[in-house]
Amino acid sequence: MIETFSQTLIEEQDDVVRILADDVELAHYELRPDTVQYESPKPYVHPLRTRSGRLVSLFRPHDHVWHKGISLALPNVGPHNFWGGPTYTRRAGWYEQLPNNGAQEHASRLPATDGVYAHALDWRAENGSLVFSEERRLTVSLLDDDAWSLRWETALRNVSGEAIRMGSPTTEGRENAGYGGVFWRGPRSFSGGDVLTADGAGDAEDLRGTRHAWMGFVGQHDGDGATSTVIMADLDQTPKWFVRSNIFACLGPAPFFDEEVPVGVGETYAMRYDVVIADGASDADRAAALVASARTAGDLR
């Protein structure tokens, strides 16, 4: 099935959704990944590219093999791990490998308008029992000749039969490690890149765990030394953020950074974000303008 929106093409094959514009594959969304249970299988976006075709994502890095481009990954979902790898627990005081690596499984495609891909997913514990049912929408917008946006909307409904507390390693006792949510891992060459926020630029170590409406990352490519920008914006709140730069490039809003959020039986937890991918470096003014443009374009759908 092929849909068109302006110059954008969304092409769905058996296991993959491809987003193309002007003969460039902007995003490759893997629906049914061939992933071992240890890495908490989940749909992911990789490769992720700018309008000119520059790669701005990394897949399965050796230091954290469960990092895969952009994905929705949650490490502490009650007793379950939908992030991958070992789980940080207060009991152990560090990470331990438990039989709790869950999986997000593509269930069915949902009706959607042009420029949108929507599908239902089942979140299953390692023993196969259902934890969440999810409805996810990915909306594509071309912002200008150098930038485009991917809106990620998700609604998680608790179908486990018991209340679930959503947390992070920080809620389990590890300081300043509140990752979990829609998470981006950048290319190796982006290490040491610049971090921008709605409230000014700063050092990633200082900005981790602070609240901002949006956060951006400017990185440099190997080869010709060109730069690209990735920005993520929360559409509903001003969240805390998880970000790294010096060790490796990663970024994501972290809604459970240092406070657990209970989700009762039958209740739904929703998240909405815009991800902006742009050629070239950005300062705070350009980043803010791109965020505003992405919001307007996404809202028009």
pLDDT tens-place string over residues 172-198: 999 999 999 999 999 999 999 999 999
Q: Which residues, 6 or more positions from 97, have their beta carbon under 8 angstroms from its beta carbon?
A: 38, 85, 86, 87
Residue of 117, 149, 153 whose CA lies nearest to 1: 117
Per-residue pLDDT at 47 exceeds 50: yes
CA distance linking residue 136 with residue 154, whole number of Å: 4
The pLDDT assigned to 29 comes to 98
**Residue whose tokens read 């849909």:** 3
Cα dihedral sign for 196, 198, 201, 202? negative
Mean pLDDT of 79-104: 97
pLDDT tens-place string over residues 113-126: 989 999 999 999 99
The pLDDT assigned to 7 comes to 57
- Average of per-residue pLDDT values in the chain: 96
The pLDDT assigned to 230 comes to 98
Tokens of 170: 């920080």
Confidence of residue 12 (pLDDT cuts 50, 70, 90): confident
CA distance linking residue 69 with residue 187, whole number of Å: 9
CA distance linking residue 132 with residue 265, whole number of Å: 10
The pLDDT assigned to 4 comes to 44
Going along the chain from its start, the domains and CATH numbers come out as 2-299 (2.70.98)
